[in-house]
Structure 1
Amino acid sequence: MCMSCYETALSGAAGIDPCLCGAPKTQAAMRRLEADLSRRAFLGGSAAVVGMFAGFGLQPREVRAQAPGQPLLLTNLRYFDGTGSQLQEGRDILVRDGRIEALPPAGQGPAEAQRIDCGGRAVIPGLIDAHWHSTLVGVSQIVALTQDLGFVHLMSGREAGATLMRGFTTVRDVGGPAFGLKLAIDQGAVAGPRIFPSGAMLSQTSGHGDFRLPSELPRMPGDPASYSERIGAAAIADGRDEVLRRAREQLMKGASQLKIMAGGGVASRYDPLDATQYLEEEMEAAVRAAADWGTYVCAHVYTSKGIQRAVRAGVKSIEHGQLADSETIRMMRDEGAWWSIQPFLADEDANPYTDPASIAKQRQVAEGTVRAFEEGRAEGVRMAFGTDILFNPAGAASQGRQLSKLARFMSPLEALRMATGDAGELLSLSGPRSPYAGRLGVIAEGALADLLVTDGDPATDLSFLGDPDNTLRLIMKGGRIHKDTL
């Protein structure tokens, strides 16, 4: 009711209707005004939201997808297929519906294909980091364990986009609350790599995944979970029954594999590096829970005793393992266990520590790294590349440079294979729990179309991976082009 109507009602006048509030023309005008105000509010709010996300690097990227039914044909190239020992020539790469449909002889692709001239450059499969922490790499440990979780997830979204722009189109997340980030990437809300999530790291009390302070002990029956457990970074489980429960929870959330802590670590302050963690029957409980879901367990561990216990329990992937002796390395080979190993060299790219105990442990691991690579390769252990850059926002940018360091221990293409075809084989152990259907890490018919076009020559040197902004000219994930500066 307008003011004139209100005053008329108060005066007691009857039979007179001086107000046009109910008139059709007035109502139509009011609807137009409301719509305009709503549109302005929506645009202003949208701008604010986009601005907020842009500030974190999460603004929508320009992504080029294939026109429906129209294939892409990469021409004028050399390529590494992810499995061989040399670059191949004389073929083009035909991409349709997110997959590599064929590798036709050069110049013989379908006429209707949209052509991309690679200018004689090298094409390699999208890179795979088999030991990554999507939500724990872009923040410090104190931030991860004390700051608002929304902020941590926003930072992980920003880092996901940066990871993809470094050429890593797939990562195996081996600990942390990455399920939401994975969903956002898969739905196209955020740019980032494919994620094979482990969920919370399973740890015994006092283990490498127990982030509590001594002042929080003892935890009595009925006490609430610790903060790191509540946010899904870790799950403390003691005894067979509790390990089964926590393992099944991660599988319920969508874990593609499980991660257990089988020994001490460098970053943790309260568990010695030489500590063996989890009894064999506890490890077997996690392995059986995973096997019942058609997948496997990977284990954080450095020492021979811990590795041997994990392998006997059925663990399929040893994470780190730089302190393994010759007997243990041969055992890994004989049992078919994978060695997910990192170039821990205590150099300028190492995770930073201020605690003298952690610095000493880091130095000890670095001393074992060279021998681990050399003897592991000599004995024929299956190896996959990973970085384990952790709580180190500045260090995340070294991801590609870490891979290039492997050329110190082997030929460049052998090193590249550890981050492409070999890593793809490791990820395939997830079986029916794999979130993505199709081969990864290879350029082959039927494989997912994850491709990088680079100015570098991977047959002679991998240093170009340390400068992805300038050397990666095209980045394709699942047939969608996320970067093109050809």
Structure 2
Amino acid sequence: MPPTTRYSLAPAFSAQHRPNNHGSCCCGSPVLQHFHERVMAEIARREMLGGSAAVMALFAGVHTPHVVDQPSKSHDGSVLLTNLKLFDGSGGPLRDGVSVKVEDGRVSAILEGNAGAESGDVIDCDGRVLMPGLIDAHWHSTLAAITQMEAMSADIGYIHLVAAKEAERTLMRGVTSVRDVGGPSFALKRAIDEGIVNGPRIFPAGAMISQTSGHGDFRMRHELPRGSTTPLSYTEQQGVAMIADGEDEVLRRTREQLMLGASQIKLIAGGGVASFYDPLDSTQFSERELRAAVEAAGDWGTYVMVHVYTSRGIQRALRAGVRSIEHGQLADEETVRMMAGEDVWWSLQPFLQDEDSNVYPDAARRESQRQVAEGTVRAYEMAQRFNVKTGWGTDILFNPQQTPNQLHHLAKLTRFYDPLTALAMATGRNGELLSLSGPRNPYPGVLGRIAPGALADLLVVDGDPSKNLDFLKDPERNLRMIMKAGRVYKDCLQQ
């Protein structure tokens, strides 16, 4: 019988794991630090001698160096998590007296007691809570950690490098999956899937599709008018957004995103708070244009989601067959009843004009922000009263100062829901929302749940989610283990 071994992997190259005053850092290996110093010195040398091309040549064909301990594995390749309290993602109460077995990147069994702990790899959770990895259903992987001006003007290589670093930080906050709702995230998704960089699973929408003058039209006034031979704007060239007017153009842009690998399609159906041009109450895209995208996505087995706030815009989107309403805080009761009747998802964000909000210098946008904040309170009340399927997301966009506070947006949901229901929204419920992609789902399998056959995205936390979600406000301290697809990216259980 093979001896019991502890499954442990020191996290590589993570800013979340630099030494800190919390005592939760679990790397800082001298070998890793030496490697980092050598790489940075070589980058500086090459930049001086040959510019950026010489720097990029340094990484051509390079694989991650073996500078960290690899996880120990038992003969059957399984790992058993024991001595835990289980939150399975359903919203039900915590369970005691069970263990969770993981094999080949999936949960293979939930066992009574410590059955199977006598052999193989064992993770002792020391009485802590085991829960599914978190899912942010409204995230901008390549746009969250840069400013809007950088998105419109910076070298695209810089934008992608920042996005890769932010993807690693996102994973180290315990967010193991995101639904990307607009931006050039296809390359980042591929790099994560291939193990080149660390990050969450990405369900990409590609470029957000907007009408002229819509919320996704980032052009300056001097770039108008647009002629038949006018080149695409910079943000269009880089895949941040695409402008489409008329059914034919909407069809083309939708099909382009599907060709690139979109798991769902994002359209802009109304104004926004941050907009320079389009007012919050504006309705965008005709019903025929929206339906063109819905039909094109449906032909590929997936769906359309829309950015929209107002009742008029939501109702138009529902008539066109849209399956997910993003935001919608200005919906009236009639519209919410329609959403429930059509069985669509309401992807809400707790926009409350608080310390986590964007700061706007002008009175007009602050007033729009106030309206949305007031509507947020009504929206959560109506979503529950009419039993609308509700997802959780953050929509942190062009705001690098706020990305570390991603989980604040989940903790504050306890204003509207009991803690376990709120946590289920960010795990099991969001997993159901992601499954709308059908055959375009890039990660077939159950996400957001701990059940036999589910993908093994797991967190071990210090905190009691049956009482509150405050522990999420400090993920560096309170997330003791982070696992994605059966691989451990952070293990501080013995500290």
**TM-score of the aligned structures, taking structure 2 as reference length:** 0.86
Counterpart for residue 326 of structure 1: 333
Deviation track 1:451-477 (CA, whole Å, cap 9, x = no partner) reads 000011011110110100000000000
Counterpart for residue 453 of structure 2: 446
Aligned-partner Cα distance in 2 for 1:181–1:423 = 21
Taking a change above 3 Å as real, the CA distance of residues 232 and 65 of structure 1, as seen in their structure-2 partners, is farther
1:107 equivalenced with 2:114 (yes/no): yes
Secondary structure of residue in 1 paired with 2:91:
coil
Deviation track 1:311-341 (CA, whole Å, cap 9, x = no partner) reads 1100000000000000000100010000000
1:408 equivalenced with 2:402 (yes/no): no
Aligned-partner Cα distance in 1 for 2:338–2:134 = 29
Counterpart for residue 48 of structure 1: 42
1:193 equivalenced with 2:173 (yes/no): no
Counterpart for residue 36 of structure 1: none
Partners of 2:330 and 2:379 within 8 A in 1: yes
Residue 62 (structure 1) shift: 4.8
1:145 equivalenced with 2:152 (yes/no): yes
Residue 352 (structure 1) shift: 2.6
Counterpart for residue 4 of structure 1: none
Counterpart for residue 462 of structure 2: 455
Deviation track 1:104-141 (CA, whole Å, cap 9, x = no partner) reads 11121264320110000001100000000000000000
Match of 2:281 among 274, 279, 304: 274
Counterpart for residue 388 of structure 1: 395
Structure 2 residues without counterparts, runs of 5 or longer? 1-36, 46-54, 57-62
Taking a change above 3 Å as real, the CA distance of residues 64 and 124 of structure 1, as seen in their structure-2 partners, is farther
Match of 1:169 among 162, 176, 189: 176
Partners of 2:303 and 2:323 within 8 A in 1: yes
Partners of 1:259 and 1:297 within 8 A in 2: yes
Counterpart for residue 364 of structure 2: 357
Counterpart for residue 25 of structure 1: none
Counterpart for residue 3 of structure 2: none
Residue 355 (structure 1) shift: 3.2
Secondary structure of residue in 1 paired with 2:101:
strand
Alignment of 1:67-106 (within 5 A): 67=73, 69-106=76-113
Partners of 1:65 and 1:479 within 8 A in 2: no
Counterpart for residue 229 of structure 1: 236
Aligned-partner Cα distance in 2 for 1:62–1:142 = 38
Match of 2:477 among 453, 470, 476: 470
Counterpart for residue 5 of structure 2: none
Deviation track 1:367-422 (CA, whole Å, cap 9, x = no partner) reads 10011001111110000100000100010011111100000001000000110000
Structure 1 residues without counterparts, runs of 5 or longer? 1-42
Aligned-partner Cα distance in 2 for 1:364–1:230 = 34
Partners of 2:76 and 2:120 within 8 A in 1: no
Aligned-partner Cα distance in 1 for 2:196–2:211 = 36
Counterpart for residue 263 of structure 1: 270
Counterpart for residue 9 of structure 1: none
Instruction: Write the letter of the residue equivalent to 1:150.
Output: G
Match of 1:286 among 279, 285, 293: 293
Residue 48 (structure 1) shift: 2.7
Secondary structure of residue in 2 paired with 1:416:
helix
Taking a change above 3 Å as real, the CA distance of residues 50 and 399 of structure 1, as seen in their structure-2 partners, is farther
Counterpart for residue 382 of structure 2: 375
Select between 368-377 and 348-357 the one with higher mean Cα deviation.
Answer: 348-357
RMSD (Å) for aligned C-alpha atoms: 2.0
Partners of 2:64 and 2:196 within 8 A in 1: no
Match of 1:126 among 108, 130, 133: 133
Taking a change above 3 Å as real, the CA distance of residues 438 and 64 of structure 1, as seen in their structure-2 partners, is farther
Deviation track 1:410-440 (CA, whole Å, cap 9, x = no partner) reads 1000000110000000000000101101100
Aligned-partner Cα distance in 2 for 1:407–1:317 = 23
Deviation track 1:79-117 (CA, whole Å, cap 9, x = no partner) reads 111113211122100001100000011121264320110
Residue 49 (structure 1) shift: 5.1
Taking a change above 3 Å as real, the CA distance of residues 62 and 441 of structure 1, as seen in their structure-2 partners, is farther
Deviation track 1:61-86 (CA, whole Å, cap 9, x = no partner) reads 95855637321100000111111321
Aligned-partner Cα distance in 1 for 2:281–2:487 = 46
1:301 equivalenced with 2:295 (yes/no): no
1:432 equivalenced with 2:439 (yes/no): yes
Aligned-partner Cα distance in 2 for 1:117–1:208 = 49
Aligned-partner Cα distance in 1 for 2:160–2:290 = 30
Instruction: Write the letter of the residue equivalent to 2:160.
Output: H
Aligned-partner Cα distance in 2 for 1:164–1:121 = 20
Aligned-partner Cα distance in 2 for 1:63–1:261 = 46
1:339 equivalenced with 2:333 (yes/no): no
Aligned-partner Cα distance in 2 for 1:239–1:256 = 23
Aligned-partner Cα distance in 2 for 1:448–1:63 = 24
Secondary structure of residue in 1 paired with 2:249:
helix
Taking a change above 3 Å as real, the CA distance of residues 62 and 87 of structure 1, as seen in their structure-2 partners, is farther
Partners of 1:304 and 1:325 within 8 A in 2: yes
Residue 356 (structure 1) shift: 2.8
Aligned-partner Cα distance in 2 for 1:111–1:98 = 21
Match of 2:222 among 215, 220, 225: 215
Deviation track 1:115-168 (CA, whole Å, cap 9, x = no partner) reads 110000001100000000000000000011111111111110110011001100
Secondary structure of residue in 1 paired with 2:111:
coil
Aligned-partner Cα distance in 1 for 2:206–2:422 = 28
Secondary structure of residue in 2 paired with 1:104:
strand
1:398 equivalenced with 2:396 (yes/no): no
